[in-house]
């Protein structure tokens, strides 16, 4: 990988995931990684491969996905950014590009990730936010949801909060921050920061918090989920459209 003259380029990427089958390249399906690699290959003429910090699922968005790739291109990072953007569709954008040390790896070096989940809580949906939020019209006990969020902090086995297809051996993760913020506009913003996330973990957590808010699950049972390891005890998976990869920390 580290041939002489190869530069390691780190990208900061934003995307609207609505029309994609997720980050990871798949044969015959539009994916973020696939579209990005095709765009970069057109520019550099190399058979490049990009490493993303997180494999977002189908329909999930990113405000700040991080990825890196190696190239022999003579273009500066700024020129690469401009050129790649010119080859991308409107729903994927390079926000920044910079050269980094050869050993930097977007996925392996990621220390923490921050996800944002947007719930629109009111009695009619939003035409503007329809692709970027989960419209919930049930009445919700927000204070109870906040109490449940608080319980997430710390190191737990999150087996109850993940869907099958687990990609890692350990199901233990450390949550540094989990907050639910109520905006007067009807938006409920859930932000969660951890050393890593299991498959669909944020969406199962949000789906379960809404069960708590609706009064269909009490705080004790929510707390129990963090000790039990049974997915069937948790709530439904919240829709992908409300989820944003907000930050990757190194």
What φ, ψ does residue 61 adopt, rounded to 5°? -100, 170
Closest CA to 58 of 245, 241, 247: 241
CB atoms within 10 A of CB 117: 25
Which DSSP state fits 59? T
| d(C-alpha 37, C-alpha 69), whole Å | 9
Q: What is the CA radius of gyration of the chain?
A: 19
Tell me the closest approach of the beta carbon of residue 201 to a copy of itself, in angstroms.
Answer: 23
Estimate the share of the chain in helix, then strand, then coil, as percent rounded to the nearest 5.
25, 30, 45
CB of 124 to a copy of itself, least distance (A): 5
> Active site residue: 16, 38, 57, 109, which one?
57
Tokens, residue 162: 């993940």
Instruction: Restricting to residues 97-126, name those near a copy of itself by CB under 8 A.
Output: 124-126
Nearer to a copy of itself among residue 14 and residue 24 (C-beta): 14
Residue number, 84 or 234, with CB nearest to a copy of itself: 84
Is 57 among the catalytic positions?
yes
Residue with tokens 């930050």: 247
Q: Stretches 83-91, 190-198, 208-216, 225-233: which one binds a copy of itself (CB under 8 A)?
A: 83-91
For position 30 contacting a copy of itself by CB under 8 A, the verdict is no
184 binds a copy of itself (CB under 8 A): no
208-237 footprint of a copy of itself as x/- string (CB under 8 A): ------------------------------
- Residue of the chain from 3, 47, 90, 103 that contacts a copy of itself (CB under 8 A): 90
- The per-residue DSSP string of 78-98 comes to HHHHHHHHHHS-TTEEEEEEE
Q: Which of residues 62-81 bind a copy of itself (CB under 8 A)?
A: 63, 81
- Which one of 10, 61, 156, 203 is in contact with a copy of itself (CB under 8 A)? 61
Tell me how far, at minimum, the Cβ of 66 lies from a copy of itself, in Å. 15
Nearest to residue 180, comparing CAs of 220, 200, 153, 162? 153
The verdict on 130 binding a copy of itself (CB under 8 A) reads yes
Q: Is 14 in the site for a copy of itself (CB under 8 A)?
A: yes
Q: Burial letters for 69-95: b for 16+ Cβ neighbours within 10 Å, e otherwise? A: bbbebebebeebbebbeeebeebbbbe
Residues 153 and 179: beta-carbon distance below 8 Å: no
Based on CB atoms, which residue is closest to a copy of itself, 183 or 216? 183
**Candidate ranges 12-20, 51-59, 149-157, 228-236; the one touching a copy of itself (CB under 8 A):** 12-20
Binding footprint of a copy of itself on the chain (CB under 8 A): 14-16, 61, 63, 81, 85, 90-96, 124-128, 130, 132
Catalytic residues: 57
């Amino acid at each position: 990988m580290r041939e002489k003259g190869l530069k390691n380029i780190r990208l900061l990427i934003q995307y609207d995931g609505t029309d994609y089958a997720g980050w990871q390249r798949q044969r015959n399906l539009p994916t973020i990684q696939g579209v990005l690699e095709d765009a970069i290959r057109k520019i550099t003429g190399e058979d490049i491969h990009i490493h993303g910090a997180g494999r977002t699922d189908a329909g999930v968005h990113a405000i700040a996905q991080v990825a890196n790739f190696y190239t022999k291109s003579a273009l500066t990072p700024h020129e690469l950014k401009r050129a790649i953007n010119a080859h991308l569709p409107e729903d994927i954008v390079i926000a920044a590009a910079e050269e980094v040390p050869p050993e930097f790896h977007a996925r392996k070096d990621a220390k923490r990730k921050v996800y944002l989940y947007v719930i629109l809580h009111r009695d009619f949906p939003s035409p503007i936010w329809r692709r970027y939020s989960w419209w919930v019209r049930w009445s919700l006990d927000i204070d109870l949801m906040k109490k449940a969020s608080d319980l997430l902090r710390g190191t737990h086995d999150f087996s109850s909060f993940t869907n099958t297809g687990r990609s890692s051996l350990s199901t233990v993760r450390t949550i540094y921050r989990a907050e639910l913020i109520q905006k007067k506009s009807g938006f409920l913003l859930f932000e969660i920061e951890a050393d890593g996330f299991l498959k669909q973990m944020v969406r199962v957590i949000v789906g379960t918090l809404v069960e708590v808010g609706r009064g269909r699950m009490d705080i004790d049972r929510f707390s129990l989920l963090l000790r039990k390891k049974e997915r069937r005890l948790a709530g439904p998976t919240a829709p992908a459209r409300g989820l944003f990869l907000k930050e990757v920390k190194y």
